[in-house]
Chain A
Amino acid sequence: MSYEILGMAVLWTFLFGYVMIASIDFGAGFFNAYSKLTGKEHILTKVIQRYLSPVWEITNVFLVFFFVGIVGFFPSTAYYYGSVLLVPVSIALILLAIRGSYYAFETYGPTGHNGYAFMYGVSGLLFPASLSVVFAISEGGFIEITDSGPILDYWSLFTSPLTWSIVVLAVVAVLYISAVFLTWYADKAGDTNATNLMRKYALIWAVPLIITAGGIIYELRWHNPDHLELIIDLWWMFAISFIFFIGSVYFLIKKKNYGWSVTLLFGQFAFAFYAYGISKYPYLLYPHLTVHDGFTNDTMAISLIIVFILGFVMLVPSLYLVFRLFLFDKRYIQGDK
């Protein structure tokens, strides 16, 4: 495997990790706010806080890993994306700040405030929405390369149906992933009310999820036919993803084996996410930047890979420890500890 592909595979994997864990977190914040508004607070809040509080900083590092890693392996991305993303990413950062401070101020601090919980919940949906715009931009057609550098055409970006399909998909996916996961988590905690409520949410969001995902493929037909062709070549990966989706919804409907639901959920998104990633190859920014011309020098590539392996060897046991303590320790989940 060439260094480019190895680098991209590692980064994509961490991005996938971030998307999944962060979605659980974002969706949970939204459900929490929603339940406060509709007076079902007592059902959800406890479960959600048990899961979220210890892990949010770790989640954030996955994001940091991705953006530091991509500048390391593909320095030209800093130039192309850095120049054009000032506004969307700054907005995302402000939303992130609202979320980060919520943990600090509400969870560790004294009594909660409903307005804050509400902002927190909404920011959890706006944040993925603002970041998902980057995926739309990477499809090409919104950036013009001028003498003074790349320039983003905001008008065509925000009037493109493709952009909005991606944004909607991001939001729906967040709600779905989170609802499925929390169904399982609440079930483990032995909280029947919360389980039933989350299960209901999961089933509600399953339908729009699959409609918007299909919608994007339809939009690409107009926007970037080359890319669409590559996606069609990978039809089997998307098919597997779809089968996993059906499986996980099946267990939800049958009210059993929620563990399987979550496993299949991860499988579903893994296949879709990697298939999408592979279909984009070799472009980092269509059609201006490919993984080959954006790549760093070999010396740097090798040192980054060595550091990655060393870091990874230390990381896995520590992550395992966290999961054992907070996710799979029955007594912690149930609130005895």
Chain B
Amino acid sequence: MTTPEDRKALWRQMLRIRLVEERIAELYKNQEMRCPVHLCIGQEAPAVGVCSRLRREDYVLSTHRSHAHYLAKGGDLKAMLAELYGRADGCCRGKGGSMHLLDLAVGFLGATPIVGSTIAIAVGAAFGSVLRGDKRVTVAFFGDAACEEGVFYESLNFALLKSLPVVFVCENNLYSVYSGLSVRQPGGRKIFQLARGCGVESAQSDGNDVLAVAELAARAVAKARSGGGPSFLEFKTYRWREHCGPAYDNDLGYRTQREFQDWRRRCPVAALREHLRADGALDDAEAARAEREMLSEIDAAVRSARKSPPPAPDQLLKGIYAGATATRKRIGGRKRCRAN
């Protein structure tokens, strides 16, 4: 069960992500952010609901649509925006772009755009936690299309085999680029049941209801942390904007205006705000003040990102290999790990 303060924090997180994404969409037209962006507007709730139930040291891995996961896990906003601008102060020093975010200080281990690949890497991080004997939980965020990849099944299999502390979070937004589920998966398929069929405890809820998300996540995370093994959560949600880029793309005809409007009416941010208002936990003045504060934080982050210099030209051929640092100390010689 969530307290009013807890619910307010969830609303603030979602609103902040929404405002960041809207700002990116607005700035993108200036042609200064020269990398593909996959905005998460409309599907903020799974990221916020799940990450709200994690500790700072827990691990998260994500996909091409990773802004919400990165921010919800506590990733640095200035470093993210600088990365989108391709600057030296970016979280990847300009070498990653929007599709490769990372903030190790908060356990955000990375995001990559090859569909399904980070699921296995997340299971590996969880395996590493078991071998090292730490108590971290790892979350793998991915979409409905990742469940069509072989690596998805390979990952579930090993997570179960070793009872690893990992939570698989499927954000089912119905589309893989412009290809709907009906052309990709058999009719009537429920993705969470597919995972259940593999033997992983699975559940689903409305992916636009952040409270429902947080509740399922809390259970799955607690189970993982106590050695109970993996869980699979499916959250149906919807991206409002185009697959890649700042615009709307309903004119393309791959989805209907009606479908879009139905989902838009179920905005996760507005729904929680209504809920809080009805409870008397958030009045309009406080909401407006919170929004103003967030906008000025975003203004400052954009200014800072744009002020950051581009990486020096000699960085092109640097950092291809990690340097020779294999001293016994660095790689932890002799100290016994739990395995022994």
A and B held together in a complex:
no
